[in-house]
Amino acid sequence: MDGYTRTCGLIGNPVEHTMSPAIHNTLAGELGENLVYVPFRVPAAGVGDAVRGAFALNILGLNVTVPYKSEVIPFLKELDPLAAQIGAVNTLVREPEGYKGYNTDMHGLYRAMCGDGVGIEGENVLILGAGGVARAVAILAARYGAARIVILNRTLEKAQKVAEEVNRTFGPGLAQALGAGAYASLLPGEEKFLAIQATNVGMFPRTEEAVIEDPGLYRKIHTGYDLIFNPPETRFMTLVRENGGRAFNGLKMLLYQGIIAHELWTGASVDEALAEKAFTEMKRAMHLE
Ligand code: NAP
């Protein structure tokens, strides 16, 4: 580090378990950039001060994590259209007058899917959950041309709200809401689903749980993504595989949201060989390597 070193970082609370320093410091080292990435724990109600302070300190870019992904928006100069639609920002990019907000979580999921050879266009997409991430996934699926989107959630009203929003923006009838107990209505018929597990169920330490256990539902899934990455093999993934589908965890989404943020900050282009190096370092930091 010297007088020219640029700083990027993460704001959130807590931030101690983040894997982002492993991703960004590996990328910076490999790309020969004079850049460091550090976590900043921001106390409740401190996000405005943090954004203003970061700008004053000439910080190049920030990631934003829980609980500030929506709260940060009023403090930005500009918002990328996808982030505006989703209502959540995880990346701030320095512009002359302030920060511009992006949502690279969803671009990250999409890039991970492309890498796995999984497309969205024309697919029947089944989303488990209707929280912040599930809502973003529903918007992503609609934007990338899903034929049908089913949102299945324990609390039906939340699924209905997401489905209504998708239908209002992308056309009536595209999205449908179901309460978790109503999944049986999906079982008849030949069509298969690309399923995205976007609930907290199955996350460490309750690793033996899945939202739905019925193998009948899993036989309808040709590809399943669990956005959970701890544990790396979830009960949902096991059930998908046991019933003939392909299953992926959320680790690559985590990797690519970071890579896309890094590309936005520095203008660099991260190829797959470098992405793999960052992936190895990320997994090492998670004690998975
Ligand atoms: P959230 O807004 O809190 O939503 C949680 C969702 O889980 C809701 O739909 C909730 O249902 C459901 N849920 C929670 N406990 C449940 C239970 N016992 N039974 C059935 N459903 C239950 O959370 P989020 O921010 O959207 O995050 C969702 C997941 O995405 C998390 O697992 C997180 O780790 C993952 N994620 C991954 C990445 C990545 O990079 N891979 C990034 C961000 C998030 P109700 O509506 O009924 O409460």
33 pLDDT band, cuts 50/70/90, is very high
- Dist. CA 230 → ligand 1 center (Å): 13
Q: Are 192 and 215 in contact (CB under 8 A)?
A: no
289 pLDDT band, cuts 50/70/90, is confident
Of 196, 214, 42, 200, nearest to 106 by C-alpha is 196
The pair of three-digit structure tokens given for residue 127, joined into one six-digit string? 């989303």
pLDDT for the residue numbered 75: 98
Ligand 1 shell residues, CB under 6 Å: 105, 129-134, 153-155, 158, 198-201, 203, 211, 227-229, 250, 253-254, 257
Of 289, 253, 259, 287, nearest to 273 by C-alpha is 259
Average pLDDT rounded to a whole number, residues 246-272: 98
Q: Where are the alpha helices (DSSP H) in 125-189?
A: 132-143, 156-170
pLDDT, the chain, mean: 97
Q: Where are the alpha helices (DSSP H) in the chain?
A: 20-31, 47-56, 81-86, 104-115, 132-143, 156-170, 215-218, 235-242, 251-266, 272-285
pLDDT in tens, 153-202: 999 999 999 999 999 999 999 999 999 999 999 999 999 999 999 999 99
pLDDT for the residue numbered 285: 95
Average pLDDT rounded to a whole number, residues 210-226: 98
Within 8 A by CB and 6+ apart from 192, the residues are: 124, 220, 221, 222
Q: Is 90 exceeded by the pLDDT of residue 82?
A: yes
Among protein residues, the one with the nearest Cα to ligand 1's atom 13 is 199
Sign for the CA dihedral angle at 142, 148, 153, 156 comes to: positive
Average pLDDT rounded to a whole number, residues 190-215: 97
Q: Which atom of ligand 1 is nearest to the CA of 129?
A: 9
- Dist. CA 133 → ligand 1 center (Å): 7
pLDDT in tens, 98-126: 999 999 999 999 999 999 999 999 999 99
pLDDT for the residue numbered 97: 97
pLDDT over 70, % of the chain:
100
Mutate to test the pocket of ligand 1, among 103, 133, 229, 234 (most ligand atoms within 8 A of CB): 133
Catalytic residue at 252?
no
Q: Which atom of ligand 1 is nearest to the CA of 257?
A: 40
- Dist. CA 30 → ligand 1 center (Å): 34
Mutate to test the pocket of ligand 1, among 200, 206, 252, 257 (most ligand atoms within 8 A of CB): 200
Report yes or no on whether pTM surpasses 0.85. yes
61 pLDDT band, cuts 50/70/90, is very high
pLDDT for the residue numbered 137: 97
Of 238, 278, 289, 192, nearest to 19 by C-alpha is 278
Average pLDDT rounded to a whole number, residues 231-248: 98
